[in-house]
Amino acid sequence: MRTIKFIIQKEFKQIFRNKSMLPIIFVVPFVQLIILVHAATFEMKNIDMYVVDNDMSSTSRQLISKFGGSPFFRLKKTTFSIKEAEAALLSDEADVVMVINSGMEKSLVRENKASVQLLVNAINGTVAGISNYYVMSILASYNKDLITKWYGVAQSSQIKQININYSFWYNPELNYKTYMVPGILVLLVTIISLFLSGMNLVREKEIGTIEQINVTPIHKYQFIIGKLVPFWIIAMLELALGLTLGKLLFNIPIVGNIFLVFAFASVYLLAVLGIGLFISTIAHNQLQSMFFSFFFMLVFILMSGLFTSVESMPDWAQMLDRINPIYYFIRVMRMILLKGSTFKNIVSEFISISIYAIVVLSLAVWRYRKTV
């Protein structure tokens, strides 16, 4: 234990002596947390809209005012030219174009029906789908108002309807930040622990101190534990500070047991540090280590469920996700913090990440013994 203690002290001294590393560890992650939480959102609140009003009736003006009063739409311009509106779509000045044809009000009076044309910029399928849904909701609401106004309350009340009362569990205000903060926090903690642990051992190779350590009576398990423990402690500290920052700035709910989060994180970080150690045994310099780490992180992030649902992925991708440690921690973080899940609810994830940590650390130690 004394040997491990001295190695840990050496590692902490090296970390705190490196002035360029300190901001990367203690400042950059929290700046990224604040920025990414606001940037990584699918909420649509500024949909740019052009209106082509060729009817110029009181009905068309009321319909346009419905969109003007919505918090989701910005009426950029009302015009008479469809070509001008289409040009706005091509230049990305408009997300949605609503075309009101001449004679819309007359059709409503005479035939009890009228048509409105929608042109939606569908380069981004998700944005187009949400925009179309918002437009259809406003049109349905306006249609109901017309029925009530023209035919009276008695007439409209005869239409049989199903009344739906919504109850949103775990995120009643539908705040996207509540959903994103736990995932982004997992991402930042993972990046710091993976990159730093991967480059730390490689740095020993570059400066030549690894040969000096190998000829000492230090056992390899002592050396590896002494190398990984400091970054494990730093990552746990960053997780605690990140959760505090998330609570103070974004008021994320912490419904479940916070100690269960740290219990899972302690095992999860062993898996991530094991990956970093494995990368360091393969790489010959810090640049190679960074490239290897970037490769794994890119795949892990895109398949983690941070931005898109894992259940929407193909079956082969979901099976491949079983070797993605970030997937497990993001899932557990959201379950505990937002749902209040207990250990019973996350036991399968806990067993999976424990097996993952054992396998990865074993491979890393085996590879290290092989190359040294």
CA nearest to 194, candidates 267, 271, 285: 271
Question: What long-range pairs does 301-309 form, CB within 8 A, spacing at least 24?
Answer: 301/187, 301/326, 303/327, 304/183, 304/187, 304/330, 305/183, 305/330, 305/331, 306/180, 306/183, 306/184, 306/186, 306/187, 306/330, 307/40
- The most confident of the ranges 53-62, 123-132, 222-231 is 53-62
Q: Which domains does the chain have, with CATH numbers?
A: 2-40+174-371 (no CATH), 47-157 (3.40.1710.10)
Mean pLDDT is lowest, of 149-153, 270-274, 303-307, 365-369, for: 149-153
> What are the tokens at 61?
């003006």
| For residues 156-171, average pLDDT | 70
| Alpha-carbon torsion angle 252, 257, 258, 261, nearest 10 | -100
Which residue type, as a one-letter code, is found at position 220?
A: K
Helix (H, G, I), strand (E, B) or coil at 164: coil
Confidence of residue 156 (pLDDT cuts 50, 70, 90): very low
Q: Please tell me what DSSP assigns to residue 1.
A: -
Is 9 in contact with 231 (CB distance < 8 Å)?
A: no
Q: pLDDT digits over 105-153, tens only?
A: 888 878 878 888 889 988 877 778 888 888 888 888 888 887 777 766 5
The more confident residue out of 289 and 337 is 337
Residue 221 pLDDT greater than 70, yes or no: yes
φ/ψ (deg, to 5) at 72:
-95, -15
**Which long-range contacts link 68-71 to residues 24+ away (Cβ below 8 Å)?**
70/134, 70/138, 71/45
Average pLDDT, the chain: 83
Edge-first strand listing for the sheet containing 96-100: 73-79, 47-53, 96-100, 116-120
Averaged pLDDT for residues 193-200: 81
pLDDT tier at 266, thresholds 50, 70, 90? very high
Q: In the predicted model, what is the mean pLDDT of residues 37-54?
A: 81
Residues 220-229 have a mean pLDDT of: 80
- How many alpha carbons fall within 13 Å on the CB side of residue 220? 13
pLDDT, average across residues 307-327: 86
Average pLDDT over residues 63-77: 86
Burial (CB < 10 A; 0-12, 13-18, 19+), residue 168, is: exposed
73 bridge partner residues: 47
Distance, CA of 367 to chain centre: 33
Q: Which has more confidence, 129 or 18?
A: 129
Tell me the two tokens of residue 35: 């920025």
Condensed to tens digits (0 to 9), the pLDDT of residues 234-262 reads 899 989 999 999 899 888 888 999 999 99
pLDDT tier at 352 (50, 70, 90 boundaries)?
Answer: very high
Give strand ranges (E) for the chain: 47-53, 73-79, 96-100, 116-120
For 305-349, the DSSP string reads TSSS-GGGS-HHHHHHGGG-HHHHHHHHHHIIIII---GGGSHHH
pLDDT score for 145: 80
Instruction: Tell me how crowded residue 326 is: count the other CB atoms within 10 A of its CB.
Output: 28
Of the candidates 117, 120, 100, 101, the one whose C-alpha atom is nearest the C-alpha of residue 48 is: 120
Q: What is the pLDDT of residue 151?
A: 67
The mean pLDDT of 346-351, rounded to a whole number, is 94
Shortest CA distance to 290 belongs to which of 7, 14, 24? 24
Q: Rounded CA gap, 220 and 227, in Å?
A: 10
| Residue, of 91 and 158, whose pLDDT is higher | 91
* Confidence (pLDDT) at 161: 66
